[in-house]
Structure 1
Amino acid sequence: MTDQARNSYELWGGVIFLLLIVCGLIFGGVKTYGWMQDEQQMPVQVIDFSGDYRYVNIARLERLIRQSQPGSFFALDVNDVYRLVEAQPWIYRASVRKQWPNTLKIYLVEQTPVAHWNDDLLLNPYGDTFNASGEGLTLPRLYGPGGSEKTALEGYHAMQSLLATAAMGINELSLSERFAWQLELQNGVELNLGRQEFIDRLQRFIDIYPLLATQPKGVKYVDLRYDTGLAVGWKSANGEQSEEES
């Protein structure tokens, strides 16, 4: 065998050997990838929830996650799980991460409901609405036009703090399209505060209410939309109302 033939033989032998190695690596990679994607080989056995929560249905949430991510630990998409979790009504914030070898760890920050909004939504402490069931929750009822959620909640807190000094509380607050304030107190008294100086007007009511409460008739409503004085609607035994200005 000539030197040229020997060199050619060695070259092709090397090429064939290299191709065998490459094919082996590809075959091994495909088998490894298939094994990693196989839920039976590397299942997500544990979904570990943590955080402070009362209203989140953990069993339902885990079921949703497993239905949306039926693959193995390696195939599971953390970003998809994150988006799914944060889309749930009672979830305010969440973090999601994998923990080797078979655990998905999820930390939950739950929405904190502070008021009903327009009978169909709930408000959190930041004035953001969320669409969760408020059935059974004893919360004040706030009403107002769209976009006024934060204004209504801030007004509620300011007036509730003032009323608390007189051992009274707000049951229902309404903010009109023209941003006029109306209240229904927990004792049933209705207040019309108007648009301006509503805190001063509320203080005027607090100052005069002890005198009103001594009257033989119960107070139905108080209209405080006056620079000075007020109008009082009284309850009567036969259900009719009478009004008096002072």
Structure 2
Amino acid sequence: MALLSREQARFWGGVVFLLAVLGGLTYSALVVTDWLKDEQRMPVQVINFSGDYQHIDIGRLEQKIRRSQPGSFFELDVNDVFELVESQPWVYRASVRKQWPNTLKIYLVEQQPVAQWNDDMLLNPYGDTFETEGITLSLPRLFGPGGSEKTALEGYNAMKSLLATSSMSIADMSIAELSLSERFAWQVQLKSGVKLNLGRQKFIDRLQRFIDVFPLLSKQEKPVKYVDLRYDTGLAVGWQTDENDNKQS
């Protein structure tokens, strides 16, 4: 058997040494990885919530996060936590990040409800619906077919602005309830109890017609019950004291 030359022996000795070093590093990395994955050694001790919120149940949300992410700080998936947090009804936007060595920081932006929708949902300023979770709020009630949320809210905001700039009492003449029919006809009930039938077209012009004529109507002995404005000119008035006594003007 031929003996290895000194150069060959040195080369193979270096290869063996390199393999030993790589093996040692690999083993060490596995040991460190197992140690870091050990929840008992590297737990997420603190979940820090910040932001401006009133209706988000922080305790309940933290429990959901811990149940969904039972692993260590290093195993915790920030993207999964983000999706979980933003799926909560009262959360509009969120940001999630880790902070060494044991903290999860979550910033919350809460939904801002502006109206009730079909008695079982709430609307935010952008016309997006979210669940109420049993929370009762004093808000205008909007009704309409599915998919008409943004249309109904835009109409409500336009009417609200017009009523706010009128000389009528804001407290009595603000909108309590707005309904949009399947044919997209508008009906409004004011906080005073007066009901307005605005029809499908030119509903803002028709509301302005009501604003113009209401000072005259309010001087009558009988309180106004409803006003039908679905006419090119004029309107029909129903009085509270006699449902059958209608007046065309």
| TM norm structure 2 | 0.90
- State whether structure 2 residue 223 is matched by structure 1 residue 218: yes
Partner of 2:107: 107
Partner of 2:51: 51
Partner of 1:124: 124
Cα gap change, 1:16 to 1:196, in 2 (>3 Å) = same
Given candidates 198, 202, 207, the residue that maps to 2:203 is: 198
- Distance in 2 (CA, whole Å) between partners of 1:186 and 1:205 is 15
Asked if 2 retains the 8 angstrom alpha-carbon contact of 1:122 and 1:132, the reply is yes
Same amino acid, percent of matched pairs: 68
Range that drifts further, 137-146 or 11-20: 11-20
3-state SS in 2 of match to 1:4: coil
Partner of 1:25: 25
After superposition, residues 38-77 of structure 1 pair within 5 angstroms as: 38-77=38-77
Note the alpha carbon deviations across 1:50-103, whole angstroms, 9 max, x for none. Answer: 111111111111111111111111111111111111111111111111111111
Note the alpha carbon deviations across 1:175-211, whole angstroms, 9 max, x for none. Answer: 1122111000001010001111211111111122122
Report the AA paired with residue 246 of structure 2.
Answer: E
After superposition, residues 226-237 of structure 1 pair within 5 angstroms as: 226-236=231-241
Report the AA paired with residue 26 of structure 2.
Answer: I
- Distance in 2 (CA, whole Å) between partners of 1:56 and 1:175 is 31
After superposition, residues 147-162 of structure 1 pair within 5 angstroms as: 147-162=147-162
- State whether structure 2 residue 247 is matched by structure 1 residue 244: yes
Partner of 1:209: 214
Asked if 2 retains the 8 angstrom alpha-carbon contact of 1:116 and 1:134, the reply is no
Partner of 1:92: 92
Displacement after TM superposition at 1:120 (Å): 1.6
- Distance in 1 (CA, whole Å) between partners of 2:234 and 2:6 is 117
- Distance in 2 (CA, whole Å) between partners of 1:133 and 1:81 is 21
Displacement after TM superposition at 1:157 (Å): 0.8
In structure 1, runs of 5+ residues without a counterpart are none
Provide the alpha-carbon RMSD of the alignment: 1.9
Displacement after TM superposition at 1:242 (Å): 2.7
Note the alpha carbon deviations across 1:3-47, whole angstroms, 9 max, x for none. Answer: 637667656554443333232212211110011101111111111
In structure 2, runs of 5+ residues without a counterpart are none
- Distance in 1 (CA, whole Å) between partners of 2:238 and 2:133 is 36
Report the AA paired with residue 136 of structure 2.
Answer: G
Range that drifts further, 3-12 or 90-99: 3-12
- Distance in 2 (CA, whole Å) between partners of 1:170 and 1:179 is 18
- State whether structure 2 residue 208 is matched by structure 1 residue 183: no
3-state SS in 2 of match to 1:104: strand
Kindly tell me the number of residue pairs found equivalent between the two proteins. Answer: 243
Asked if 2 retains the 8 angstrom alpha-carbon contact of 1:144 and 1:177, the reply is yes
- Distance in 2 (CA, whole Å) between partners of 1:154 and 1:31 is 60
Note the alpha carbon deviations across 1:160-189, whole angstroms, 9 max, x for none. Answer: 111122222000001112211100000101
Displacement after TM superposition at 1:243 (Å): 1.7
Partner of 1:171: 176
Range that drifts further, 2-11 or 139-148: 2-11
Range that drifts further, 11-20 or 23-32: 11-20
Displacement after TM superposition at 1:133 (Å): 2.9
